[in-house]
Amino acid sequence: MSQTTAMEPPARTRDGIVSASETGMVFPGPVVALEDASFHVKRGEFVSLIGPSGCGKSTLLRLVSGLIKPTAGRLNVFGTPVDGPRAEIGMMFQKPTLLDWKSVFDNVLLPITLAGTVTKADQTRAIDLIHLVGLKGFEFSYPRQLSGGMQQRVALARLLTSGAELLLLDEPFGALDEFTRERLNLELMRIQSDLDATILFVTHNIQEAVFLADRVFVMTPRPGRLAATIDVPLPRPRTIEMTKSPEYNDLVFNIRDTLGGFI
C-alpha cells in the first residue's frame, strides 16, 4: 500500500478532478459491489459509466459523491480523499426527487436554502437557471403541475444552482420517453460546455453513453469491475446526425462486444 502511495501523482493535480486507484467497495453480506477500479477524470470531461445492473456503476457514483466510503484503495476528488459529501459535488437521480410542497423556484433554491441564506442574487440566478433548462413560464408552478420531463428539468436546474463543478448523474433521463430524453441530452451537453462542468453520467443505454461522452467507462458485473475505458473522438458540439456516422456506430458495436457475455 505505502509503495503505491509513493508512486502516485502529487495531490491537487490540475487535471485530476477524480482519481481512483484500486478503489473497492464491499457491502456487508459480503457483497463485492466494486473491485479494483483505477481511473482519472479530467476537468471539463464528460464520462459515461455503462454496464448491466449490478456492475457497480451506481456504487462508483455514490463513492465519488461521498455518500459512502470505499472499503479498499484510494479515491481522491479535487485532489483530496473523499470524506463525505461536498459543496463542489452535485448529484441527480433517475427520479426527479422534487419536494411536492415547494414551487419550482423554491425547489431550485433548495441547495442554497440548506447552505445558508438566500440572497436576491441567488433568486435571480435561480430564475436564470429555470430559463436555461427551458422552463420559462413555469417558475412558480408546483411539481404536480409538471410532466415527468419537466420535473427532471427542475432537478437539473436545482443541480446547477448548487454551483457544483463535478456533476454526478445517475440515469437522470432513464424514466423518460425517447424524444424527451434525446432533447434533454442535447441540452445537458450545451449546459456542460457553457458552465465548463465535469460530468460522470451513469446509464445502461450504449447509444446514449457514446453520444454524450468524451470517454465511456465500460463496467461488468459480479464483481463490479471497470472492464475498459473507450475514447469517443467525435467532435463537439454533437448533433443527432452524428449517430448515423460509421465512427459512432463502430464505437457502439465495440462497447456491445466488450459487454458481450454480460448482457
Partner 1 sequence: MSEHATNIPSASAPRSIPVWAQHLIVFVVFISVWELAVRNEWVSRLILPSPFDVVFAWWDLAIVKALIWKHFFVTLTEVVVGFLLGAGFGLSIAILSAMNKTFRRLISPYMVALQVTPRIAVAPIIVAWLGFNMEPKIAIAAIICFFPIFINSLTGLMQVDDERLEMFESMRASRWQIFRHLQLPGAMPVIMAGFKTGISLALIGAIVGEFVSASVGIGVLIQRFSFQLLLPEAFACLIMLTGMGLLLYGTATFADRRVIFWKDDNLVTKSAHRLRAKHADLLKE
One residue of 46, 78, 93, 201 binding partner 1 per CB under 8 A:
93
Our finding on whether 166 is near partner 1 (CB under 8 A) is no
The length of the chain, given as a count of residues = 263
Residues 6+ apart with CB under 8 A from 22: 4, 36, 37, 38, 72, 73, 74
Stretches 5-13, 109-117, 198-206, 246-254: which one binds partner 1 (CB under 8 A)? 109-117
Our finding on whether 97 is near partner 1 (CB under 8 A) is yes
One residue of 25, 33, 63, 89 binding partner 1 per CB under 8 A:
89
Q: Is the peptide bond before 28 cis (omega within 30 degrees of 0)?
A: no
Q: How far is the CB of 29 from partner 1 (least distance, A)?
A: 18
Task: Tell me the Cα Rg of the chain.
Answer: 19
d(CA 223, CA 33): 6
d(CA 12, CA 28): 32
The three cell numbers locating residue 241: 446526425
Our finding on whether 163 is near partner 1 (CB under 8 A) is no
Residue number with CB closer to partner 1 (100 or 178): 100
One residue of 8, 12, 38, 87 binding partner 1 per CB under 8 A:
87
Do 236 and 193 contact (CB within 8 A), yes or no? Answer: yes
Binding positions for partner 1, rule: CB under 8 A: 62, 65-67, 84-87, 89-91, 93-95, 97, 99-101, 103, 105, 110-111, 113-115, 123-124, 127, 139-145, 162
